[in-house]
Amino acid sequence: MTNRIWTVIGAVVVFFVGFLVASIYQSARIPEEKFGRAYEVSEIVGMQVKSPEGEEWAKINDVVVDTSGHVAFTILSYGDKLVAVPFGTLSYNREGKHLVLNTTRDRLESAPAYEKGVMADRKKAVDIYRHFGQQPYWYEEGMAVQEESGYSPTE
C-alpha cells in the first residue's frame, strides 16, 4: 500500500515539475507576432515617417547607435533640417509599411536641429528624450547610478 502511495506521489511530482518547466520555457520565448522581424539599417534609411493620423512628415536619414549597441536615435529629414528622435517614439505600421512618429507636429517642429556627436553630450541627449516625452533608455536600465560614478554608455 505504501509503495502505491509513493508511486502516485512521485507521478504527481513529475507531472508538476514537467508542467513547470514547460511553462517557464513558453514564457521565456518571444512570440513572433510580438517580436515581428528584424530590420537592417539599410532597409530603414529612406523609409517614410508619418504622423499617427497618416500624414507624411519625414524620412529616416540615419540611425545613431551607442557603443553598447543600443539604437539611441533615428535621424529624421524633416523639411530643411535634420532632427534626432528617440528610437522608442517610432512604431512600424505593417499595413502601410512605414514608420509612425508617435508625437505631435508641434513637438516635431520645435525639436532642436540634430548635431553630430549628440550622444557625447549627455545633457543634450537627455533633453532630446525629454522633448519627445521619453525616459532615456540608460535611466530605464539602471545606468543612471553608473553614470553618476563616471560611466557613460558612449565610452
Q: Is 28 exposed, middle or buried (0-12, 13-18, 19+ CB in 10 A)?
A: exposed
pLDDT digits (tens, 9 = 90+) for 74-108: 999 999 999 999 999 999 888 888 899 999 999 99
Q: In the chain, what are the domain boundaries?
A: 2-34, 41-148
pLDDT digits (tens, 9 = 90+) for 6-31: 665 655 555 454 444 444 444 444 44
Q: Specify whether domain 41-148 bears CATH 3.30.930.10.
A: no
pLDDT digits (tens, 9 = 90+) for 46-84: 999 999 999 999 999 999 988 888 889 999 999 999 999
Per DSSP, helices labelled H in 29-121 are: 32-35, 41-44, 105-109
What is the pTM assigned to this prediction? 0.66
Interatomic CA distance for residues 46 and 56, integer angstroms:
13
Single-letter code of the amino acid located at 73: F
